[in-house]
Structure 1
Amino acid sequence: MTTGNAGAAQDVPPSTKEEQFRAFFDDPRWALAVIRATVLEAAHPQVGAALAENSTFVAHPWRRLRNTFLSMRRMFDADPAVRERETARLNRLHARMSGSDSRGRAYDAMDRPTRAWVVATLFESAVTMCRLSGQPLDQDTMEHMYAEYRAFLAALDGDAGELPVDLNDFWRYFDRVVEEELEDTEAARVILFRLFDHLPAPALLAGAPTLWAAGRAVVGPLLGAITVASLPGPYRRKAGLPETPGAPTLMQGAYLAAGLTRFLPKGWIDATTIIEILSSPPGGHAAKAGTASALRTRVKRAAALLRLVTPLGDDTDPEPAPPTTTATGEGRRSAEEFFRQVLDQTGDGHLDWPDLAAMARELATRLDLDEPEETRLYEAFAAWWRELQASLDTDGDGRVSIDEYAAAVPSLAGPALIRVAEVLFDVTDKDGSGAIDAHEYRALFRTAFHRDLATTDGAYGRSAFVGDFLSFMSGRRANTPYDPLLADA
């Protein structure tokens, strides 16, 4: 990977092997490896604290998956300009994440040893993925991959010095961190024992909650057992993770089965296409509409069959009642629903700054903002948080509970929220024409999610845009364009 650092440039692997490695992104084994790497990241106290306080992976896991996948694609892109731009974006994002954990220990997402550990887990999990699937990497390929990951770290930090130069030294470094620094963190436990059991349905399956719940009840525990069995033994023992009988065999079988996909015709498995289809609601991107529609029809048939064979009275996961519909086709949410689905982005049951920062981060990602527009958007959300805190935080604990919000039933359209809407309009109106044209509209409401939505007469004026945004954020209306931005899983 090319970077601006001369030392890092020496680590850049040959382009032919770069292409070979990028094929991992379309490898089903990579999904298992990334889950494993994420647990190892979350087990580091600094990463675990940052995830617990700032991440949306509990409430919006599919959105987090899409954004992470897109970021990794960019970081390993063949174009140096794409890599450098994504590096700058990631560094700005991480620079905004710092604080302290439940034990009062400081964390900082820009901490260099911690960032090195994140890169280390990705590399080690890729190597482990190949070994467990019966396709171990040869030494030359492993050396090449390690050099590429060190270059990845050099792009983020300016040099790769926090990771050993020699691959043999890396394995000693990895074992030391596992044994001496990793902990049984809350974030790791959430991923292993809560996320899989309560994973919300992707957009494709949102209309079949019973079918999704049935599948999740089987697949969730299996994924958890596979992931636990694949973790390093010293960490499993330190964290007191259960040794499930048969789990190692199950894990080996899962990796071997995923590895067999290498015999499928080239192009049959494309991670980007799969993520787009899973994320495609009715009326999605035209290019994927046929496939998504066909799958959705089959899902409905399967859900109907499941309801036929499900014993009467089993309402453990009932079909949700549709929202009250207005003449405009928009549904009304209760204050509690709006709080959980829109305001509480991190899923911790409270509204505080990390929730609004997550909204700003998602909007900036959608619009692919650079500075200074990105900072303007964050500052507008920060001002809105101060306004919310002053008016709703009645017990003075620094955050807003769902009861405080519901009891106040506030009109949120104050000056700060209006400013958020105006800044969002300005950064969406790329050409400064004073109106959002069809291309700019799609950049906000369709980019990365591929939704086809009509605009009014091909343009969207400031007052209409601000009015619609305020109606969504203060009126608690389910709104077709904004729901995928802030409410979808």
Structure 2
Amino acid sequence: MTLQDTPPSGTRSGPPASPDSRFASFFDDPRWALAMIRATVLEAAHPAIGAALIENSTFVAHPWRRLRNTFLSMQRMVGADEQTREREAARLNRMHARLKGTDARNRPYDAMDPGARAWVVATLFESSVTMFRLSGQPLEQEFMEELYAEFQDMLGEMGDEPGHLPETLTAFWPYYDKVVAEELENTEAMRVILYKLFDHLPAPPLLSGLPTLWATGRALVAPVVGAIAVASLPEPFRRRAGLPEMPGAHTLMQGAYLAVGLTRFLPARWIAPENVISLLSLTPDSDDPRARTVAALHSRVKRAGALLRLLSPLPDRPEPTGYATPTGYATPPTATAHRHDAEDFFRQVLDQTGNGSLDWPDLAAMARELASRLDLDEPEETRLYQAFADWWRELQAALDTDGDGSVSAQEYAAAAPSLAGPALIRVAEVLFDVTDKDGSQHIDADEYRALFRTAFHREATGADGATYTRSAFVKEFLAFMSGRQRTTPFDPLLAEA
């Protein structure tokens, strides 16, 4: 039985969006990026949503990956294909059902709470309306009513009972003002988005080889983006949350919306969100033809940097230490070096939520990313989550020396080899099974790309040049997840932002 087979009483019939729908048209509007930032801040200010984000989301450690996944999910939910919408709604409901707990003030939260889910849709609708108003193009009443109906349909598609969003647009505005005035808080998740996320935003894969250039641009842009986001928030909430406002921020905000809006007159292929996101996500070994151009540009920049270092005076270097070899000196590996490598791996791979410790939400985030990449159905998805849950119990028993229920970077670094236990082997085997869609006991090129989104690695293929065996897959996964081997296909999958 699907969601479409049993529509909630009182919801509109038919798809929530079509290629010519009001909402679908926003996806190619560059201003939608600013509206999404604003909506995300308002979502994070809701106590239940903010707690779920800060405890479970990867938006701190892997913002670009989360952006790509969120955009893909929204595309599926507003698309014209009914089966795709049903499948995505079911996937989102399974994901939300796993996100529950208590916040820092010991208040329970549940991502399936219908009021919180209605607020997410409300922020998207209101931010869409605000996007046009701030751009000097206020929407007509008829357009807003049609748009609001489409957003209501989105909740219906998710299976939520009607009534959590007001039935009419006229009743929506008092509801929205009441939530803003009485329920929103200055949450930790909201502060992270406004002040930490943009200030520490890691480079996307496209610019990962240009850290200086990225850091310089980020230092200039981050405060401006934060100021624009704050200035766009409702005035009552800004006052109550004590959010600082820069002088001239309102002028800056309106100028930004107007300037970004002008880019919609550029060729569509330049500004299409899916093209921009896919370009930012490119890795050098991707099978995308553009990857070769990106790799060539990276190589030229690196050569220019090497030439600059060659022409610059070198600092004094200490005498080499270690033992002599025919080609010079080799420094023996030290416990400190191993510890640093382990702590780097902990930060880049294991701590998916970016909170400084390894907890179940970190491994759940890995399972969620893998299941999303492979577009798994419920039985396969459950198998994968169960395998990660078993691994988490094994890690707790082996590494949680102080019994606080989580694993610190120090605890991990002191006993990193314990990662490669039987439960991790089981994770690798389950992942192989769900990737091997045709059950051939080999991963072919198409199955490989579905998981890694890169070209099929020739060094990993078998004699026929087109397969990846179970033993090779499991071996490589174990080597990566135990921190023994980097530069594997799993790096862009689980380590990159």
- Same structural fold, with TM-score higher than 0.5 when normalized by the shorter chain: yes
Q: 1:72 to 1:333 in 2, by over 3 A?
A: farther
In the alignment, the residues of structure 1 paired with residue 232 and residue 212 of structure 2 have an alpha-carbon distance, to the nearest angstrom, of 30
In the alignment, the residues of structure 2 paired with residue 387 and residue 16 of structure 1 have an alpha-carbon distance, to the nearest angstrom, of 48
Contact persistence 1:340–1:347 (CA under 8 A): yes
Structure 2 residue ranges without an equivalent (≥5): 316-330, 332-337
In the alignment, the residues of structure 2 paired with residue 65 and residue 299 of structure 1 have an alpha-carbon distance, to the nearest angstrom, of 27
Alignment of 1:467 with 2:494, yes or no, is no
Q: 3-state DSSP class of the match of 2:101?
A: strand
List per-residue Cα deviations over 1:309-329 (Å, max 9, x = no partner): x9x99xxxxxxxxxx9xxxxx
Q: 1:452 to 1:203 in 2, by over 3 A?
A: farther
Q: CA deviation at 1:167?
A: 0.3
**One-letter amino acid matched to 2:104:** S
In the alignment, the residues of structure 2 paired with residue 477 and residue 132 of structure 1 have an alpha-carbon distance, to the nearest angstrom, of 50
In the alignment, the residues of structure 2 paired with residue 245 and residue 164 of structure 1 have an alpha-carbon distance, to the nearest angstrom, of 36
In the alignment, the residues of structure 2 paired with residue 65 and residue 398 of structure 1 have an alpha-carbon distance, to the nearest angstrom, of 30
Q: 1:300 to 1:87 in 2, by over 3 A?
A: same
Q: 1:452 to 1:287 in 2, by over 3 A?
A: farther
List per-residue Cα deviations over 1:242-287 (Å, max 9, x = no partner): 0210111100000000111232234331111111111112132333
Query: Aligned runs of 1:101-116 on 2, under 5 Å?
Result: 101-116=103-118
List per-residue Cα deviations over 1:29-80 (Å, max 9, x = no partner): 1111111100100000000000010000000000000000000000001111
1:9 to 1, 8, 12: 12
Q: Which residue of 2 aligns with 1:258?
A: 260
The alignment yields a C-alpha RMSD, in angstroms, of 2.6
Query: Aligned runs of 1:191-340 on 2, under 5 Å?
Result: 191-289=193-291, 292-293=294-295, 296=298, 334-340=341-347
In the alignment, the residues of structure 1 paired with residue 308 and residue 250 of structure 2 have an alpha-carbon distance, to the nearest angstrom, of 31
Q: Which residue of 2 aligns with 1:26?
A: 28
Q: Which moved more, 1:20-29 or 1:160-169?
A: 20-29
Contact persistence 1:3–1:84 (CA under 8 A): yes
Query: Aligned runs of 1:45-84 on 2, under 5 Å?
Result: 45-84=47-86
Contact persistence 2:19–2:79 (CA under 8 A): no
Q: 3-state DSSP class of the match of 1:478?
A: coil
Contact persistence 2:442–2:468 (CA under 8 A): yes
In the alignment, the residues of structure 2 paired with residue 451 and residue 350 of structure 1 have an alpha-carbon distance, to the nearest angstrom, of 33
Contact persistence 2:18–2:79 (CA under 8 A): no
Q: Which residue of 2 aligns with 1:125?
A: 127
Q: CA deviation at 1:441?
A: 1.2
Alignment of 1:420 with 2:417, yes or no, is no
In the alignment, the residues of structure 1 paired with residue 296 and residue 140 of structure 2 have an alpha-carbon distance, to the nearest angstrom, of 42
Alignment of 1:484 with 2:486, yes or no, is no
Number of matched pairs: 467
In the alignment, the residues of structure 2 paired with residue 275 and residue 433 of structure 1 have an alpha-carbon distance, to the nearest angstrom, of 33
Q: 1:334 to 1:15 in 2, by over 3 A?
A: closer
Q: 1:297 to 1:332 in 2, by over 3 A?
A: farther
In the alignment, the residues of structure 1 paired with residue 455 and residue 492 of structure 2 have an alpha-carbon distance, to the nearest angstrom, of 9
Contact persistence 1:417–1:470 (CA under 8 A): yes
Alignment of 1:388 with 2:390, yes or no, is no
Contact persistence 2:39–2:127 (CA under 8 A): yes
**One-letter amino acid matched to 1:25:** F
Structure 1 residue ranges without an equivalent (≥5): 314-323, 325-330
In the alignment, the residues of structure 2 paired with residue 226 and residue 295 of structure 1 have an alpha-carbon distance, to the nearest angstrom, of 32
Q: 3-state DSSP class of the match of 1:207?
A: coil
Q: 1:434 to 1:266 in 2, by over 3 A?
A: closer
Q: TM-score, normalised by structure 2?
A: 0.89
Q: Which has the larger radius of gyration?
A: 2
Contact persistence 2:398–2:418 (CA under 8 A): no
Contact persistence 1:367–1:444 (CA under 8 A): yes
Q: 3-state DSSP class of the match of 2:289?
A: helix
Q: CA deviation at 1:432?
A: 1.1
Q: Which moved more, 1:60-69 or 1:333-342?
A: 333-342
**One-letter amino acid matched to 2:226:** G
Q: Which residue of 2 aligns with 1:318?
A: none
Alignment of 1:142 with 2:150, yes or no, is no
Q: TM-score, normalised by structure 1?
A: 0.90
